[in-house]
Amino acid sequence: MSELQIDPIQELARTLHDARLAAREIPRITENGPLSIDEAYSVMESGIQLREHDGEQVIAYKMGLTSEAKRRQMGLDQAIFGILTDRMELRSGVPYSLQGRIHPKAEPEIAFRVGRMLDARKNPINADEAWGAVDQVAPAIEVLDSRYVGFKYFSLPDVIADNASSSDYLIGAPVPKPAHWSELEQWKIDFIVNGTVMHQAVASEISGSPIRSLVELTELLARRNQVLPAGSWVLLGAATAAVALEPGMSVELEMQGPSAPSKTRLAVAR
Ligand code: OOG
Ligand code: MG
């Protein structure tokens, strides 16, 4: 093989990166040949390197397909993770422009911040250890945007390579951290679109318990020989289906269960 040959992993990452920047949908990358889950994560990581090269910084992670509602909506059956940068973070109160997005959707999430590193490379981390590392709990709204035609019917490797359809995310005001992780399981999540409750769920629909989703992330990262760095925020996966965004739309996440109900809102620009 000539040394000039381009690494196919990097080439796929570049294709997805360019599609995102141009807000242009592309055919699924597995239409040109199969990709393993591991290779797909390599494409994701290579894509993140391109973003870092553009000055972005990895500050958060997300879990995806942790609830039955999401797995059903996407027709996929395994939890995955994605990597989030500072440039994807939205500020509360700033209207969200759909410009530069292809077919964005929003979904309600719960997010944890870890105050110390979680490393599952040698020994698995249990729920108590993971909870001990959590120093903040907050509602969050994730904006997804697939780079694939129609945002539908892709395979796991396709969606992983596309950084788990990541686009943007808003972390709401933190709520008091419960004494025990199991308390979170009863929290109610209302997803309100234009003032009407569109979807409802309880937090136990996220991997059985939101803490389980954090533990799963440490396991998935360990398989890639990686750790969850101290200071990272983690979106634990939506408990409800995602909703397509339109100009002027208001999406709200109301969480009941933390000492006082909390509301987080994303207003889409007209
Ligand atoms: C994949 C990302 C899933 C979640 O919270 O389940 C996700 C997709 O739906 O395109 O972020
Ligand atoms: Mg999500």
Q: What is the CATH number of the domain that holds 32?
A: 3.90.850.10
The number of domains in the chain is: 1
Residue closest to 223 by CA, chosen among 132, 113, 119? 119
The answer to the question of residue 144 being in a domain is yes
pLDDT for residue 3: 58
Q: Is 1 within a domain?
A: no
pLDDT value of position 51: 98
Distance linking the first and last C-alpha atoms of the chain: 52
- Mean pLDDT, all residues of the chain: 95
State the number of CA atoms in the 13 A half-sphere of 228 facing the CB: 32
How far does residue 171's CA lie from ligand 1's centre (Å)? 16
Q: What is the pLDDT of residues 212-247, one digit of tens each?
A: 999 999 999 999 999 999 999 999 999 999 999 999
Q: In terms of Cα–Cα distance, which of 258, 111, 261 is closest to 176?
A: 258
Q: Among residues 102, 107, 79, 7, which one has the least CA distance to residue 49?
A: 7
The set of protein residues with a Cβ atom below 6 angstroms from ligand 1 is 62, 64-66, 70, 74, 107, 142, 144, 146, 159, 164-165, 237-238
- Checking if the pLDDT of 53 tops 80, the result is yes
Whether 1 has a pLDDT exceeding 50, the answer reads no
Task: Tell me, yes or no, whether 83 lies in a domain.
Answer: yes
- How remote is the CA of residue 183 from the centroid of ligand 1, in Å? 24
Residue 184: pLDDT band (50, 70, 90) is very high
Q: Which atom of ligand 1 is nearest to the CA of 65?
A: 6
Q: Is residue 135 part of a domain?
A: yes
Q: How far is the CA of 231 from the centre of ligand 1 (A)?
A: 23
pLDDT computed for residue 6 by the predictor: 76
Rounded to the nearest angstrom, the distance between the alpha carbon of 1 and the centre of ligand 1 is 38
Question: Residue 174 falls within a domain, yes or no?
Answer: yes
Q: Is residue 2 over pLDDT 60?
A: no
Closest ligand by atom to 162 CA: 1
| Position 167 in a domain | yes
Nearest CA to ligand 1 atom 10: 165
Ligand 2 center from residue 124 Cα (angstroms): 24
Residues 118 and 107: their CA atoms lie apart, in Å, by: 26
Picking from 53-67, 151-165, 185-199, which range would have the lowest pLDDT averaged per residue? 151-165
Q: Can you tell me the mean pLDDT for 94-116?
A: 98
Residue 2 domain flag: no
- Rounded to whole angstroms, the Cα distance separating 112 from 25 reads 32
Q: Which of 28, 68, 70, 214 to mutate to test the pocket of ligand 1 (most atoms within 8 A of CB)?
A: 70
Residues 121-142 pLDDT 10s: 999 999 999 999 999 999 999 9
Nearest ligand 1 atom to the CA of 70 is 6
Residue 3, domain member (yes or no): no
pLDDT band at 4 (very low <50, low <70, confident <90, very high): low
Which residue lies with its CA nearest to atom 9 of ligand 1?
A: 74
State the pLDDT confidence band at 74, using cuts at 50, 70 and 90.
confident
Q: pLDDT by residue (tens digit) across 185-222?
A: 999 999 999 999 999 999 999 999 999 999 999 999 99
Segment among 164-173, 241-250, 259-268 with least mean pLDDT: 259-268
User: What domain range is 182 assigned to?
Assistant: 8-267
